[in-house]
Structure 1
Amino acid sequence: MISEIRRRSYLDAMQIVSWLPRTELPFAAPSRLELLLPETEPEPSRPEMEAVEVAKPVQAEAPVAAPVVRAEVPRPRIAMPEPKKPEPAPVVEESTPAKARPVAPPPRFALQLLRAGSVLLLVELPTGEPFQSRDPAYILLKDLLRAARLPDKPQQVGDGEPIRWPLLSGGNLEQGAEAARDYVQGVLAAELEEMGCDCIWLIGLPALQYAGEVEEDACYRELAIDGIGHALAIPGLEYLMEQPTAKAELWKALRRSMSRWNIGL
């Protein structure tokens, strides 16, 4: 058995204010009647409550445990991959429409095909029309033939119509410089196949360009044209009439090539 004081201390420690044993305890203090009364009875007046002082032992405060400080273990830093920067979209250059190359106009010329003995003549027509007997250019041509010891009355080839270019005034037919060259050389090749010659005189710039495939600086020289044969490059008749010194240069070229059509010389 425990004493009353010790029992009270236990009850206070357990925060039990009222406690009634089931049996009479030995050495226990007599029970207080107010604890045995029903709860419906009126409470005692305030003077009575003040007169009654219930001495409660001061509850000893439990020692506060010191907080446990846990040493933080440094966690290994995991290197996170840097986010990839979005690649800039390729700059698509706006396609600009290609500028159309300027189309060169078709060449324009008129050539007369003649024959004098064993020489074939391809002559530029200064006026674009066939020669007349009193044309200054035709008279000069006859003088050149006499100087080269050839017949001075050249004969027209075929129907006598000049070779004119362009062939058509419109349409989709290719009529550029290359087509003109193929056409002129084709006419010469057809005439040579029917009747050969010892040499061809190419007189005037269009004859040099579209039959001999040379320019004006090739004048006074002999040319070897594939599929056609030997040719002599001669300036235009109008140029010879305007430049007297050009006649002297042409005379030298004729003397060098004369043996081609005059085999007996």
Structure 2
Amino acid sequence: MITESRRRAFLDAMQITTWLPRTELPFAAPSRPELLSFDDTDVEPAPVIELEQPEAAPAAPAPKGANSATASPAADAVRAALPRIAMPESRKKAVSDEQAPAVEQKPAVPPPRFALQLLRAGNVVLLVELPTGESFQSRDPAYILLKDLLRAAKLPDKPQQVGDGEPIRWPLLHRGSIDQGAEAARDYVQGVVAAELEEMDCACLWLIGAPALRFAGEVDPDACYRELTVEGLGVALTMPGLEQLMEQPGSKAQLWKAMRRSMPRWVVGLTESASSVHD
């Protein structure tokens, strides 16, 4: 079973505002009483008002000239004697294309595809792009690099999974008419992350990878090594993907500079929490 926060984000992405479960769901919020009440009051049908039909006006007589021209045998003989000129096929096609209304067909844009993992290390929450689309394994090179980054930032190097531990995947459905575009993906990712942040103390949110920057931070994938404030999510630090860091060693130096500027946010919080424990 999924948690209530992810269930609400899933229903919002499918544009479902009212729903009732068939059975009692664990960890679910109680149903609202107003959804279970039905109004059985009888509604009287509106009275039918009959309108008088107006009398039909007499048809106007046809002009004499038109009847005589149609029935004239001389006109039929002249029309039959005229030669018939056939229109070329190319001309017919051109005329049909000109008469047909112009319909602009927009190319179908495929839905974005990504997988994100929500982790926590100390008082920092991480939204990390999964390079393989599956959860991290202990021997994955990307996971080993992530642990090195956490140690350099003076954070616990064993991040814990948040919520039910399932990755945030998109698209939600492979078939159907539900909107699976970029805007729906952004609303879904931000909804899941915001619901999880409500239940924990977060000094800073790390956005790692292009999908995390685009659908959680609403910035371009190139907007790395900086802090930004995301409505509903708080302060976030943008980083490139783990694969990009492994392929471009020079980017690690830029990331280290950005981490040093933001480090007081979570180091101060860790120092205060440690002092409170000793006291």
TM over 0.5: yes
The corresponding residue for 1:154 is 159
* 2: CA distance, partners of 1:95 / 1:185: 45
Q: Indicate which of 205, 223, 228 corresponds to 1:223.
A: 228
2:110 alignment partner AA: P
The corresponding residue for 2:7 is none
* 2: CA distance, partners of 1:213 / 1:259: 25
Q: Indicate which of 158, 165, 171 corresponds to 1:166.
A: 171
Post-superposition shift, 1:95?
Answer: 5.9
1:119 alignment partner AA: V
Considering only CA atoms, is the larger Rg found in Structure 1 or Structure 2?
A: 1
Which protein has greater RCO, CA pairs closer than 8 Å, 6+ apart? 2
* 2: CA distance, partners of 1:100 / 1:187: 35
In the alignment, is the contact (CA less than 8 A) between 2:211 and 2:221 conserved in 1?
Answer: no
Post-superposition shift, 1:216?
Answer: 2.3
Q: Indicate which of 187, 208, 211 corresponds to 2:216.
A: 211
Q: CA-to-partner distance for each residue in 1:177-217, whole Å, 9 max, x for gaps?
A: 00000000001110111113010000000000000011122
Q: Indicate which of 239, 243, 247 corresponds to 2:248.
A: 243
Q: Indicate which of 118, 136, 146 corresponds to 1:113.
A: 118
Q: CA-to-partner distance for each residue in 1:37-72, whole Å, 9 max, x for gaps?
A: xxxxxxxxxxxxxxxxxxxxxxxxxxxxxxxxxxxx
* Higher normalized helix content (fraction of residues): 2
Secondary structure (helix, strand or coil) at the match of 2:154 reads coil
Unaligned runs of 5+ in 1: 1-92
* 1: CA distance, partners of 2:261 / 2:115: 29
The aligned length equals 173
* 1: CA distance, partners of 2:167 / 2:201: 20
The corresponding residue for 2:54 is none
* 1: CA distance, partners of 2:165 / 2:181: 24
* 1: CA distance, partners of 2:152 / 2:143: 14
TM-score by length of 1: 0.63
* 2: CA distance, partners of 1:204 / 1:172: 29
Matched, 1:186 2:191: yes
The corresponding residue for 1:141 is 146
Unaligned runs of 5+ in 2: 1-97, 273-279
TM-score by length of 2: 0.60
* 1: CA distance, partners of 2:227 / 2:179: 31
1:219 alignment partner AA: C
Please show how residues 34-183 of structure 1 align to structure 2 within 5 Å.
Answer: 94=99, 96-183=101-188
* 1: CA distance, partners of 2:221 / 2:186: 16
* 1: CA distance, partners of 2:163 / 2:231: 23
1:116 alignment partner AA: A
